[in-house]
Every structure is written in C-alpha cells, then in structure tokens.
Structure 1
Amino acid sequence: MPDRALRLGIDIGGTFTDFSLLDDATGELVGLKSPTVPADPARGVLEGLRILLAERRVDPGDIAYLAHGSTIAINTVIQRNGARLGLLVTRGFGDVLELQRLRLPYPVTFTATRPAPLIPRHRVGEVAERILASGAVDTPLDTDGLLAEARRLVETEGAEGLVIAFLNAYRSPRHEAEAKALLAARHPAVPVTASHEVWPQIREYERTLVAILSAYVRPRVAGYLERLEAGLREVGVRAPLHITKSNGGVTTARDARRVTVETLLSGPASGVIGAAHVCRLAGYEDLLTLDMGGTSADIALVRGGQPGSSTEEVVGDFPIVMPAVGVSSIGAGGGSVAWLDAAGVLKVGPRSAGADPGPACYGRGGLEPTLSDAFLGCGFLDPDHFAGDRLPLDPEAAARAMEPLAAALGLDVGRTAEAIVEVATANMYAAVSGVLARYGVDPRDLSLVAFGGAGPIQACFLAREFHLARVIVPPSPGTLSALGALTADVRRDDVRTIHRRLGATLAADLAAAARDMAAQARRWLAEDAPPVPSSVLAFTADLRYVGQAFQIEVPLDPAWLAEPGLGRLRDAFHDRHHRLYAHADRSADVELIDLRATVIGVTPKPSLRRPGRGSGTPAPIGSRPTHYGGARHEAGVYRRRDLLAGHEVRGPALVEQDDTTTLVPAGFVANVDDWGNLVITPGVLLEPA
C-alpha cells in the first residue's frame, strides 16, 4: 500500500498538458502545466509528470489513483488521420454514408455540400441479407458474398479494419454476430467492429457512424494508451490508469480500448465535471462554464449542480448519438491566430498556433499574432512570470507579430491587441448565445465559471456582455480539467430500441428489458469498471406523440412499469412536452422509441483544503499598466496564494498564479469565498441600460 493517499488527474490540451495532484489526507491540491508534445502526447505527459514528481518530491508509488482526460480521439476525427476502414452493409444501402440525412448541415448556404465520409464509397461492400424491423429474418446472410466483399476490401482496397452495419441490427444482431465470427476466422489480423456491439439504437446512419468512429480512432487511442501505461510503469506509477468518457464518467483503460468512441469528448467533459464539483461545494449550482485553453474555448451549462447531457453533440462533421456532456467548442484559445479576411475584417481563430511553435511571444519561432500575444500586449500577462516561471515571454516578438495587422488596420500595436481581445469576446458571445437559446436559459440566472489557462483573463469581458451576476474563478483554474478527472464518477450508458405505443401489452416487455439492462449494468460494474463503494441505476425513456419524427427523453421510475397502462410514464411525457414546448395533447397516442439505462458508480469526492481567513484588501505586490476598452488602467498585482477567505480585491487588478492570471477590470470587485474561489461581481459596467 502507498505510504500516502495521492490522487493524480491529467488532462491533455492542444497547447498544455495539465496535472492536478491531490493529497486525500490533507486536502492539499497542487497543479502543473507542461507543454503538450503534439507528435507524441504520451511523451509530453511523462515529461510533465517527472517535473511534478521532482518539484513536489513525490514518490510515484504513493499515487493510489490516476485518471486521465484525453483529446487523442477527437483530434483523430477532426484531423481525419484514423484507420483506413472498410464497411459492410445490407445490399441496397451502400450509399448510407453519402446520403447521411435529408437536411444539409448549412441549409442557408447555397454552395453547401455534405461532409466527406470517413469511408469512401469504393471501400463500402454490400452483402445480401435482410432482417426486418420486427427482428424476423427476411433474407438469410449470404456468407460467400460476405467473404468475397471482405476479401476485396482487405486485399484490394487495403482496409486495416472492417465495420459491419446491417439494417435493423439494433433489433436482432444475429447476422452481424455471424458475419463478425466468419470475418474474424478468415482475417484474424484485421479488427472487426459490429454496430450492435457499440450502440444498438434505431437510425441506421447514426448507428453506422458511431461504429465507424469507434473503429476509426481505436488504433491511435489504443496505441497511445499502451505507450502511456508502459511509460507510467517506467516512472514508477503502479496505480491503474483510468480514462474519462464523453458522458462525464470514468472507466478503466481496458474498457476504453474496447469502445474507444466513448472517449471522443473525454477532455472537454472533464472540465465541466471539475467546475460543477468545485462550485457545488461553494453553493453555486446553476453555471455557465468557460474552459478556455490554448487552442479552444469550451462552453457548457450546469443546472442544479449537474452537467447538461445531450445525445446531439457533433464531433468534426459527424453527429454523436451516444450520451455526452453538452459542450460547445469554438476556436478561441490563447493560441488562436489573428488574421484578416479578404474584406480586411479582423478575425481570431479557429486556426491555432498550438504548442509548436506556439504564439510568437513564446519565443519558439512562431511569427503569427495570437490571442496570447494580444494578452501580453494589453499588459495582462507578466513576461517574467508565466506558467510557473517555466516559460518566459517575449513582448517584442509579440509586438512584431502584430505589426502587420496594425498597419493593415491603421491602428497602433496596442489598439490592435485590444481589437484582437474584443473579437475573441465577440466570438464567444455568439457561441454562448447559441447554447443559451438551445436550452432556453436566461443568462442572468447563471454564474460564469472561468477556467483553463486563458479563461480567467477573458471572463469578465464576456460576463459584461450577458449582464451575468458573477464570475467564479476556482482556486486552480488552469488545471481544473485535470481535477475534474479525479472527481468523475464511474459511468456506463446503455440503450435498447423498443418502438411501440404505450399500453397494456408494452408494460411487461418493458419491465423485462429493464431487468436485462440492469443485469448488464451490474455485470459491467463487476467485470470491467473500476471498483466503487456504491452505485446507482437510473432509467429514462425516449417518447414522442405518434406521427412525430423526434422524441424527448423522460426520467422513468421502474415502479411505473408495474402499471399495465403505463399511466404515470404517459403523464410524465405530457408534462415534459408542455415544459419544453408550452403544449401537450393529453388525448393523443404516445409511443416509446428507446429505453435507456445509466449506471453510476459513485467515487469518493475529494475534500479540498480551505484557505485561512482574512479581511479587508491585502496590499498588492506591485502594479502594471494595462489597457482595454480604449482606456489605460494601472492594475494592482496580487499573488493568488496570498489571498485568504474574506479578502477583497477591487479592479483594476491582476491576480497571478502559476497556472493562469485573473483579470479584474475596473468597476469589478473580487471577493475570496470560504473555499478559495474568486467571486467577481460587477460594478456599473454590468448594469443593464
């Protein structure tokens, strides 16, 4: 057993890799930001870990728990550098990836085209077989045709993996299972993925796509995890590796290798989980989270202390119907490049300078102006104390990078830096507006939680636009996503398509399906999940009025299944439909499309150390000239570690710590709460007109 109970969270971003090390006995939390190595992220993790262990004099054997959020899967999809795959489908459905869905992704753009599929048409093979929607066999599986198509895909087209997605396999997987067994025997070196094993839900395009994505990212994710686990053993870490999932849960590395598609939104989900945990301790439960790092800004809603979940997320060009924490990402991070479009209009992002070469101010050969260069030009960053003093910044290089933009805009370099920050704020405003409209939320009911390396600098500018009541900056904002990995519960989601009208004949079958899904959940907890002291199983149902094309998810109490007519489930659907759309037809027939089960293994939540108490306003350690909004401000500079619960800091001010800097603009006031959060409230700048 380790001498100390240490828990380590790791989160890889496009620019920095973040570490959070928690001592369970004392509640002490320390963080570290280390440059990401894009060519070999595992090496970047291990290099940063060695620095953390050396600086904190930690025995790697004392790490008892290790959780990791990764962007390997999502970057593979966005960059389209995954496995070369072949697809086997039911005869007549070879164009499923080309047709996608009827609606174009950008219907108001006359020149819009459908995204190119991950598998081109010539690597799609059609096989004679047919299972009806009832599950009955209409056409037996043509095994000779199957093997012939598979041979063509592997030997002629060079497929490195095969995906099977037959029509109505969600209802009966017999043909997919038979085909997989035959292909595994004939091509043992070629991985085979069957759609019913990944996500057995109605809608053939989405089901096929989820299976393809899982196979597409598997080689890179599995290879990364293998290298990382080997490196951790060399460092001396004996704790098993756990991976965060898109749904906000965590699982073992072995389970993550099996269904790699579940890790697509691993990194963004971790940040939301961490923000919800820290703010829940302080009594804040309705949140708008802003995770702004070096590459992107991720935005999410938390209501009642629980992160919002969605089955409508999009990764790259592709819809993901599996449950995921609802995160919207835009290309607005510290490394986002500022540029002029053909009309001479200033833009920021989505392209990023990344970690290599990085922003011009990093002094690593970057020549293009970025948001970080603008932050430095506005005086928000201390060039001599950045990233824990590990990365000195070059103000002259930042200014040189912005000079061409300044000349083209007819501005001086200082005003150009302000303009870059303002455009980035406008980009985030547009993204947040879409999220709020999608869920029908009044922003004045929310607290903005700012984290990531750049979030606390940008937060008050965004809060001003929405008239938000407060901004919350957690104690370790730059590494909060890594902390989120530590606080995530073990979680598994399952779905079963039913597609029948509510009524007496459905109740017994629905109860049987629920019992079977519960048994599968218990088996997963026992065989594949990390050990947990307790677990919770919850059901929901996807319901709609007969004739509707899309359904809404309604919580389902298993006790309701004992009612022959499912009356309480029907009433719950009407009530939710009315809340969402201000309309409910209680005389109309209702049909159940999918039954969903979620099992949550509750992990022990860390008790973070509270700061000591103080009062009044502490003396700043210095001051620095800043400029924003067309005006100059002499900002007091404070060290975050010197601020105690009860302290107050009035803007203009800068609060510096190893992992980020918090900007408190003129007219804002920051108070330190009992948990060490900076709670920034507005002055006259945020009063509605």
Structure 2
Amino acid sequence: MGDWVIGVDVGGTFTDFSARQLSTGRLVLHKRPSTPHDPSDAILNGLQELKKKAEIDGEDIARFAHGTTVATNALLQRKGARTGLVTTKGFRDLLEIGRQVRPAIYDLQTDAPPPLVDREHRLEVAERIGADGTVITEFTDAEIALVVRRIGELEGLESLAICLIFSFLNPAHEERLAATLRAAYPDIYVSISSEVHPEFREYERFSTTVINAFLQPEVSRYMDRLSAAIGQAAPNAALGIFQSAGGLMSIEQAARFPVRTALSGPAAGAVGAAAAAELSGIENIITLDIGGTSTDVALIQNGSVGTSNLRDIAGFRIRLPTVDIHTVGAGGGSIAHLGADGLLKVGPMSAGAVPGPACYARGGDKPTVSDANVVLGRLPSRLADGFRIDADLARTAIEQISAPLDVSREKAAHGIVSVAASNMARAIRAVSIEKGQDPRDYTLMCFGGAGGLHAADVADILAMRRILVPRAPGILCAEGLIVADLQENYVTTCRCPLEEANLPQIAAAINKLATQAEEWLSVSDDYIVNRCQTIILDLRYIGQNYELQVDLGTARHAPDLPTVEALKQAFFRQHETAYGHYNPDAGVEVVNVRIRATMEFAKQTLTAARPDGKAEPVATEQIWFEQTGFVPSPVYQREQLAEGTSLFGPALITQFDTTTLVPPGWTIRVDGAMNMIMERNND
C-alpha cells in the first residue's frame, strides 16, 4: 500500500502541491508557475520536483487528487468543441430564449452571450414524451435514420448534445438515439440530458447538457494525457478529480461529465478551509481565497460548506450540485486602469502567469495589484522558491496610474489595493448579507497567494473583527484535495404534493437512487473507512418557483423516510432561515429526490512543525499606510513563530507560500493548531 497522498491545484499564476505521508502525518509543500498553454506541464514537472524535494518514490504514492481549471477556462474563453444539438421538434431555439432575463437589466446594449451551439447545428426530431413519462409521439427507426444522415452532413462536428423533452422521466428515446449515433460516429462525443442532468426545467437541463458536450472533447483529451503521465510517474496512485460539488470523482467520470468540474479548484479551497478552521475550533467562517486572477468567497456555517444547485459561469446556466462560491475578477494579477470616466478600475483583466505582474520581471508592464503591494512595501523581495521581485519595475508600472491622476506612486498603489478590497468585500456581501447573514458574526479566513495581504483591508470594510490565517494559506486548495473524500450525486424528479398518500411514491424514488448509490459504494478500496448516503428532498410551497433542500440525514444505507409532519416542520425551518417567515397552513410539494453518496478515506492527523523560543524579526521593511505614510515595520518568518506568540501591528509575516500583513490596530497570535488568529484591538 502507498504511503503518500498528493493534492495538486492549478491556479491562474501558480500550480500548488501538497503531499502528506499517511504513516507519519508529515507534510511537504511545493509551488511552481502555471503553464496556461497546457496545465499538465506544470503538474508533471512540479510532481517530479516534489518527489525529489520530499524523497518520495513514485510507487509509494497512493492517491493523486487534482483540482482542475481546464473546463472553467474553456468555457470562459469559448474554446470548446464544435457542438451539435438534437432536440424535440419545436424546441430548437430554447437555448436563446432561456429565461428571458437580460444579463444587465438597465443596460440595453448588453446581450447574453451567443449559445455554444450555432443554430444551423441544432436539429429537431419528430418524437415526444409526455409530462407523465408516457410516449405521445413514437420515435421511429426512420426518424432516427434521418437524424443520423443529417448529423453526417454537419462538417467538423466534434461533440453532440441530445436533449429531448421530458427525457428525465423517460429516457428511452434519448438512449436509443445515443446508441445509434455512437455506433455510426464513434469519433463524436455524445452527451444526453437524462444522464448529465435528469431533472425538470428544460432550459437548465438543455444548457447544462450542451455545456457538457462543448467541454467533453477538450477535457477528455486532457484527462487522457494526465492519466497516462501520472501512470508513469506514480503507477500505483488512484487518480481523483475534484468536482464542483465538493468531493472527488474518478478520472473516467470527469471525462464523461466535465461540466461537474466547472468550479473544481475553488471548491477544494472551501473544503480545505473548513478542515483548517475545525482545527482551531471555529465553525462559522467566510472564506477569502485570493489568487492571481480572481477572488473566491464562500460562507461556512457550523463547519459545513454551503451548496447550490444553480450557477451561471460566463453567462451560461449550469444546474448541478456545486459548492456555493461567489467569484470576482480581483486577484494579485488584476490589472489597474483608468476607465472612460477617469475613475480607477481594477480587473477583471489579469496579467495571469504569462507575462504576469510587472514586478515578476517576465515581460509584464501593466500595473497590477501585486505591483501596488510592492510599491507599498507589503511584498518582500523574494517569493516562493526564491522567486524574485523587481521593485523598480513595479514602481514604473504604477506610474501609469499615478501620473494621469497627479498623485504619488504610493497613493496610486493604495488606491489600487483599496478598489480591489472593495470588490472582494462586495463578493462577501453576496454570500452573507444578501442571504440574511451578518459577516460580523463570522471569522474571515484568508488564503490563496494574496489572501494575507488584503484580509485586514476587507475586514475593515465589513467591520469584521477576527481573521484566521491557516498554516499554509497559499496551498490550502491543494490541502483541500488531500482531505476530500470520494463523492457521487444522484437525483430524480418526483413532483407530488407532500401528503400521506404520496409517501410510497417518494419512497420508491429514494429506493431507486439508493440502488444506484449502493452499486457505486460497493467498490472495493483498501483506504476507505466509511461509506454513507445522505438523503435530500427539494421541497417548496405549491405555487413557488424555486425549492429549498431539506436534509433527511446520513447513514450507511438510505435513511428511512420521516412522517409527513416531520418533513413539513423541517421545510418550515429551512424556509424561515432563508426568508424570515413560513406559512404552516400552505400546501407543500416535493420536486426532486437526491442522494449524496460518500466514501471516506482514512486520514492521518497532520504533524505540524512546532518551533519554540521568542519571535525575533529577521528584517525591517518600510510599509506605507494611509494615515502615517511609511512606517518601519518588523518582518517575521512564520516557521519561527511558536505556539502562543503574539505580535502587534504593524508587522509583516512571510512564509513559503504567502505573506501576511498585520496593520496598525491589529494583533496576531499563533494558536494550538499553529493557525494564526488576527484580531482588531479594542477601540
């Protein structure tokens, strides 16, 4: 049996590695610049460097978990496959009709992005399944043959989405057509909606399936390359891909359903954050994951990461279980510029890994957030693995902002980081205040390469008083991959009033999914220590448009269905939490039944380094603050800070993967989990 588990998270600027030894809890971290042209290059080169650094034998790697941005980037850049669509007659234009909601309601010039499938590549077929799942119009062999011929007339088609009306109730027509097309065109990828997203709401089902088809060729090729390379570098390793729902899936599932990986990396960060906060005994946190290109935030209550079943990415609708994350284009590489109105803007364009911020001395010359931090004295002259910072190039870049505004470089730099912090705070408001939660009741957990530099600024805006800085903030997404378990989600639509007479129908739907879940859970794995199922019902008041999820509990086998009254009371509690009220007399209905199946891996408690002795500064930096200008501030190395150490701001704490700024008015201390807790001093 292998003794090492490795997590790899690919970001816009850096690719992060975290390796944990199961027998001892030893942890080894590594970073290297990302390779946007082919993310697997950075992964494979970094893996070789990590093996050498930690003296790991490739055959001793038990698991390799990967958080990928391939699907996300392909969708954002529309660099997917030439895709076709087959649908029921009369629904050809559904992708354009959508929900008839403008992307910017007050901007008449902004349109929704064009569909991923050109209209001439959308084919209609004469067939029809009714709303009760019965066949209204037969799908004849002649009609199928006609479709096969017409598909052959579409030049350059790489992938195909099959989305027939009410196929989530009766998939027979989709399955027949898919089998015929796969036999006729083995080189064309085929996605069918009854497999990708078997739920009602036709637009969301169509959109999700089309996105899956659009991504499948590119992601499948990437997964094939990665699998072959990892097979050589770590022949015994089980390769898992992190999915947006918060767990690992097999590389085969990722290639088949790439739409499930649309939020792979950020979701891993949320899982890692929950695990790190648990070590410090903190259950309610708001995450602040600041990378090179974007900032991701999430709300974690009682140690549980929130989930959502509906997301828009780059203007495209995805309806699948995902970790509830809000993203804004504000990161270390975000480019600052003056808008047409003469006001300072930051992002969403980013310098990324290539050419990167000007201070990286790799050809970038645009002013970025990282350059602003250099000008303010917040970034040391060296980053991960001796990565050098060129302060002169940063100052030259910031002059592109300071000169037109006729202000000093420091004030321009401060303006840039302030605008970036405001963008980040707006994202936090979206996951907290807009959902009835007060961010002042939560601890802000900062991570990512730039999280520690901006956490205090963001906390000031939101009047948050406590910040948690995990032991390895810049690698936390990779660490989230290590602590993640295998997960599979199943869903079926079961629309019926929540009444005693319908309990057998609901129970039958649960049993149907439980059978599928049990088959998946029966897979043998020496590292699995627990297998369980969580039953979830989507409930709503009759007449409502959207539903709330009610968790019925977790057990090894599907838990028993509670009474109608118990289900209603659970729904009322959810409704009151979400909306502030509930109506005990209104009718309630079931919409969907879900099962989340989980196989938990054996985990080794992390052995954290525990230095002792008094903290001594290793240098002094001149750091610029708005109220005082430049202030001499001590610089500490985090690996030298013992448990119980308390430091008063201003101070700078550097470590392998990030830098943490402690401004005046804040105190930071090292707790028993070797996390750092930063708190605002009493006024």
State how 1:315-464 maps to structure 2 within 5 Å: 315-383=313-381, 385-389=382-386, 391-464=387-460
Measured after TM superposition, the shift of residue 16 of structure 1 is 0.4
Give 2:304's aligned residue. 306
**Cα 1:597–1:77 shift into 2, 3 Å:** same
**Cα 1:562–1:25 shift into 2, 3 Å:** closer
- Whichever residue aligns with residue 516 of structure 2, its letter is Q
Q: Is the 8 A contact 1:611 1:674 kept in 2?
A: no
Secondary structure of residue in 1 paired with 2:5: strand
- CA distance, structure 2, for counterparts of residue 475 and residue 329 of structure 1: 23
1:64 maps to which of 62, 65, 68 = 62
Give 1:546's aligned residue. 542
Give 1:512's aligned residue. 508
Secondary structure of residue in 2 paired with 1:197: helix
State how 1:166-181 maps to structure 2 within 5 Å: 166-181=164-179
Measured after TM superposition, the shift of residue 296 of structure 1 is 0.7
Is 1:561 the counterpart of 2:557? The answer is no
Q: Is the 8 A contact 1:525 1:531 kept in 2?
A: no
Give 1:226's aligned residue. 224
1:628 maps to which of 625, 632, 646 = 625
Secondary structure of residue in 1 paired with 2:402: helix
Give 1:494's aligned residue. 490
Q: Is the 8 A contact 1:406 1:416 kept in 2?
A: yes
Give 2:211's aligned residue. 213
Give 1:7's aligned residue. 5
- Whichever residue aligns with residue 385 of structure 2, its letter is G
Give deviations 1:318-348, integer Å, cap 9, x for gaps. 2221111011111111111111111111111
Give deviations 1:608-665, integer Å, cap 9, x for gaps. 12443657x5121111001032522211000111011111111111111111111111
- Whichever residue aligns with residue 588 of structure 1, its letter is A
Q: Is the 8 A contact 1:452 1:660 kept in 2?
A: yes
Secondary structure of residue in 2 paired with 1:156: coil
Give deviations 1:379-400, integer Å, cap 9, x for gaps. 11112x21121x2111111111
Q: Which moved more, 1:628-637 or 1:29-38?
A: 628-637
Q: Is the 8 A contact 1:373 1:399 kept in 2?
A: yes
Measured after TM superposition, the shift of residue 366 of structure 1 is 0.6
- CA distance, structure 1, for counterparts of residue 603 and residue 7 of structure 2: 13
Give 2:93's aligned residue. 95
**Cα 1:31–1:280 shift into 2, 3 Å:** same
Secondary structure of residue in 2 paired with 1:533: strand
- CA distance, structure 2, for counterparts of residue 529 and residue 544 of structure 1: 39
- CA distance, structure 1, for counterparts of residue 641 and residue 244 of structure 2: 35
Secondary structure of residue in 1 paired with 2:153: helix
Q: Is the 8 A contact 1:490 1:529 kept in 2?
A: no
- CA distance, structure 2, for counterparts of residue 45 and residue 245 of structure 1: 18
Give 1:267's aligned residue. 265
Secondary structure of residue in 1 paired with 2:181: helix
Q: Is the 8 A contact 2:435 2:578 kept in 1?
A: no
**Cα 1:269–1:530 shift into 2, 3 Å:** farther
- CA distance, structure 2, for counterparts of residue 258 and residue 524 of structure 1: 16
In structure 1, the gaps of 5 or more residues are none
Secondary structure of residue in 2 paired with 1:207: helix
Measured after TM superposition, the shift of residue 544 of structure 1 is 1.5
Secondary structure of residue in 1 paired with 2:96: helix
**Cα 1:154–1:461 shift into 2, 3 Å:** farther
Give 1:471's aligned residue. 467
**Cα 1:289–1:596 shift into 2, 3 Å:** same
Measured after TM superposition, the shift of residue 30 of structure 1 is 2.1
**Cα 1:345–1:237 shift into 2, 3 Å:** farther
In structure 2, the gaps of 5 or more residues are none
Q: Which moved more, 1:99-108 or 1:658-667?
A: 99-108
1:671 maps to which of 665, 669, 672 = 669
- CA distance, structure 2, for counterparts of residue 101 and residue 493 of structure 1: 26
Give deviations 1:339-391, integer Å, cap 9, x for gaps. 111111111111111111111111111111111111111111112x21121x2
Give 1:122's aligned residue. 120
Give 2:578's aligned residue. 580
Q: Is the 8 A contact 2:611 2:640 kept in 1?
A: no
Q: Is the 8 A contact 2:23 2:604 kept in 1?
A: no
- CA distance, structure 2, for counterparts of residue 582 and residue 233 of structure 1: 52
Secondary structure of residue in 2 paired with 1:219: helix
- CA distance, structure 2, for counterparts of residue 407 and residue 528 of structure 1: 65
Give deviations 1:13-40, integer Å, cap 9, x for gaps. 0110000111223322221110000001
- Whichever residue aligns with residue 503 of structure 1, its letter is E
Secondary structure of residue in 2 paired with 1:202: coil
Measured after TM superposition, the shift of residue 244 of structure 1 is 0.7
Is 1:131 the counterpart of 2:132? The answer is no
Measured after TM superposition, the shift of residue 226 of structure 1 is 1.6
Give 1:682's aligned residue. 680
How high is the sequence identity, in percent, across the aligned residues?
39
Q: Is the 8 A contact 2:612 2:640 kept in 1?
A: no
Secondary structure of residue in 1 paired with 2:591: strand
State how 1:584-603 maps to structure 2 within 5 Å: 584-603=582-601
- CA distance, structure 1, for counterparts of residue 365 and residue 624 of structure 2: 23
Q: Is the 8 A contact 2:374 2:391 kept in 1?
A: yes
Give deviations 1:163-216, integer Å, cap 9, x for gaps. 110000111111111111221222222221110011100001111111111121
Measured after TM superposition, the shift of residue 549 of structure 1 is 1.6
- The number of residue pairs the alignment matches comes to 678
**Cα 1:123–1:528 shift into 2, 3 Å:** farther
- CA distance, structure 2, for counterparts of residue 530 and residue 147 of structure 1: 48
Give 1:248's aligned residue. 246
Q: Is the 8 A contact 1:130 1:137 kept in 2?
A: yes
Q: Which moved more, 1:404-413 or 1:87-96?
A: 404-413
- CA distance, structure 2, for counterparts of residue 562 and residue 15 of structure 1: 49
Give 1:647's aligned residue. 645
Give deviations 1:453-501, integer Å, cap 9, x for gaps. 0011111111111121211111111111000001012111111101111
Q: Is the 8 A contact 1:369 1:402 kept in 2?
A: yes
- CA distance, structure 2, for counterparts of residue 161 and residue 278 of structure 1: 41
Secondary structure of residue in 2 paired with 1:20: strand
Q: Which moved more, 1:579-588 or 1:667-676?
A: 579-588
- Whichever residue aligns with residue 616 of structure 2, its letter is A
Give deviations 1:69-113, integer Å, cap 9, x for gaps. 111111111111011110000000111101011322322323332
TM-score (norm 1): 0.95
- CA distance, structure 1, for counterparts of residue 184 and residue 48 of structure 2: 45
**Cα 1:559–1:365 shift into 2, 3 Å:** closer
- Whichever residue aligns with residue 29 of structure 1, its letter is L
Give 2:522's aligned residue. 526
- CA distance, structure 1, for counterparts of residue 110 and residue 140 of structure 2: 39
Give deviations 1:582-622, integer Å, cap 9, x for gaps. 3322222221111111112122233112443657x512111
Secondary structure of residue in 1 paired with 2:672: coil
Measured after TM superposition, the shift of residue 527 of structure 1 is 4.5
Secondary structure of residue in 1 paired with 2:594: strand
Q: Is the 8 A contact 1:163 1:194 kept in 2?
A: yes
- CA distance, structure 1, for counterparts of residue 280 and residue 453 of structure 2: 22
State how 1:180-199 maps to structure 2 within 5 Å: 180-199=178-197
